[in-house]
Structure 1
Amino acid sequence: MSSKPNCWEVKKCGKTQCIDKLRSEDCCVSSVENRVHGFNGGKNGGRVCWALAGTLCNGQVQGAFASKYGSCRECQFFKDVWKDGGPATLSTKDVRHAISEFKV
């Protein structure tokens, strides 16, 4: 596994304690969404947070993918993941497809 930083490490949201727990109101979905583990070199959804519904950003639940994606594209973390990964970065479409294929 790469040592690339996950969103909760960069954004310093304090949700690292949630990584090994089931989803709860206190946990960001990106830290527990294991269907996308390893995508773009991250742990769980840590490097594809923009493609996940219900993530926490700046202390607020971000809601559905369609309603948040525009603001996520302006996020420095989003830009850094794309810069770091270059052409190997998984597209949002690929991530969303993987999530839909492996519904729990």
Structure 2
Amino acid sequence: MKNCWEITKCGRQVNGENVKEMGVCPAALPNEFNGVHKGNAGGRFCWAINGTFCGGEINGTFAEKFITCLNCKVFKYVQDEEERYFNVTPAQAKLKR
């Protein structure tokens, strides 16, 4: 089970190679989605986390970026692995805790 930073090789995880330049990604920091889809921090639920870095830029809220996330390799990777246990929205993830 890979986290988003392992799939994208963004280098923005804690102690990652791009942290000095771009900062630690909010998906890689402890947050309310730790453990969703068995990920570390929000690493397997990054589409639900504000301020993640995708497509060469920092993205906004879940509502603002979700359509783009539907075509993301991380989203598809986690969806394929989780199958019927896949959570799309933050509300779904919170209900299943």
TM-score bracket relative to the smaller structure: 0.7 to 0.9
Instruction: Please list, as runs of the form range in 1=range in 2, the aligned pairs for 1:1-104 lying within 5 A after superposition.
Output: 4-17=1-14, 26-92=23-89, 93-95=91-93, 98=94
Divergent runs of 4+, >3 A: none
TM-score, normalization by structure 2:
0.80
**Higher RCO by CA contacts (8 Å cutoff, separation 6 or greater):** 1
Measure, in 2, the Cα distance between the counterparts of 1:56 and 1:18. Answer: 16
| Alignment coverage as a number of residue pairs | 88
Amino acid at match of 1:84: E
RMSD: 1.8
Q: Which runs of 5+ in 1 are unaligned?
A: 20-24, 99-104
Is the 2:14–2:29 Cα contact (8 Å) retained in structure 1? Answer: no
Q: Which runs of 5+ in 2 are unaligned?
A: 17-21
